[in-house]
Amino acid sequence: MTSTPAATRPPASRPRTRRPANTTGVWAGILFVLPMLVLFVVFRFVPSFGAIGMSFTDYRLNGDFEVIGFENYSRLVSDPIFRNALVTTLIYAAFYVPLIVVVSMFTAVVLDKLVWGVGFFRGALFLPYVTSFVLAGVIWYWIYSADGLVNGLLQRWQIDAVPFLSGNQWQVLGSLSVVSVWRGFGYSMLILLAGLKTIPTELTEAAKLDGANAVQRFFRVTLPLLRPVVFFVVVIETIAAFQVFDTVYVMTGGGPARASYSLVYALYDEGFKFFDFGYAATIGVAIFALVFVISIIQRRLLDRDET
């Protein structure tokens, strides 16, 4: 048995010493996030839990309150005004959500295919989003009025004027949804455009070589890959539909005959017109619960796979 020379023996392994983790980057990140986190907690979480607690009280304008348990919720269930506002909001959402998703998707696809002037058209289409709802409401109120732009053109063509804001509930809510879509589609358009940019061009090119036309490529390749983004857009626009207030307040005031009386408008009236803050908080909790349940249903339907 021959022994290995000392010069050729592998050196003995030294025990590794753990170096302390560098936490400078972690603390720097926390410091950058902390201001927004504090604002989020103070202006989101605290008011939300405060509203839930207030819904169990008879809260008065001077700050006094009396705990009344579930009386506000019992009143909510039997309140015909709340039921009317719920139906109105659901009809409005049925107009608004599909329309804004289709418009946002169409403009995003068109911008994705452009080869020149993309920045200009992107900014021009996004411009209405930075316009206030009040200003948009004033502009569209004139467009919809009896002697406004649309009815003026209809009269030139010997067509009767359309009561956009004074007709039946379907006419009024459809007209209001068009205003909200015009004002708000730019945000969803940019989200969908960003999602389109992440789809590999090799997949669409392969489908094109297999003989698929543009419509088939969109529905068979693009749309399935874009489903998580579409789900996100549908959820945020559903939330926006249930929060509609500014446009209704400026253009119709909840009328005619409560045809556009939304849930948030009912909350506004109860809280700032009748000063029934406890019941207004109950309506706010109900809106949150409705949006939460609808979002879960939408996730089941639109986002079955992991995002």
Q: Give dist(CA 89, CA 81) in Å, integer.
A: 12
Please list the rounded mean pLDDT of every run of 10 residues in the chain (307 residues).
51 56 76 88 86 89 84 93 95 95 93 80 87 87 88 86 88 94 92 90 83 84 89 93 92 90 94 91 93 89 60
Nearest alpha-carbon partner for 267 in 250, 251, 255, 249: 249
Overall number of domains in the chain: 1
What's 192's domain CATH number?
A: 1.10.3720.10
Asked whether residue 230 is domain-assigned, the answer is yes
Asked whether residue 250 is domain-assigned, the answer is yes
Asked whether residue 58 is domain-assigned, the answer is no
DSSP state of 59: E
Asked whether residue 186 is domain-assigned, the answer is yes
Amino acid 11: pLDDT: 56
Pairing label, strands 65-67, 57-59:
antiparallel
pTM for this entry: 0.84
Amino acid letter at 238?
T
Asked whether residue 50 is domain-assigned, the answer is no
Amino acid 21: pLDDT: 55
Asked whether residue 17 is domain-assigned, the answer is no
* Chain centroid to CA 297: 16
DSSP state of 222: I
Cα-Cα-Cα-Cα dihedral sign, residues 246, 249, 251, 254: positive
Amino acid 307: pLDDT: 42
Whether omega for the bond prior to residue 256 falls within 30 degrees of 0, making it cis, is yes
The residue segments making up the domain with residue 279 are 67-302
Residue 110 makes CB contacts below 8 A (sequence gap 6+) with none
Amino acid 5: pLDDT: 52
Backbone angles phi, psi at 65, to 5 degrees: -150, 160
Asked whether residue 153 is domain-assigned, the answer is yes
Count of CB atoms within 10 A of residue 199's CB?
16
Asked whether residue 71 is domain-assigned, the answer is yes
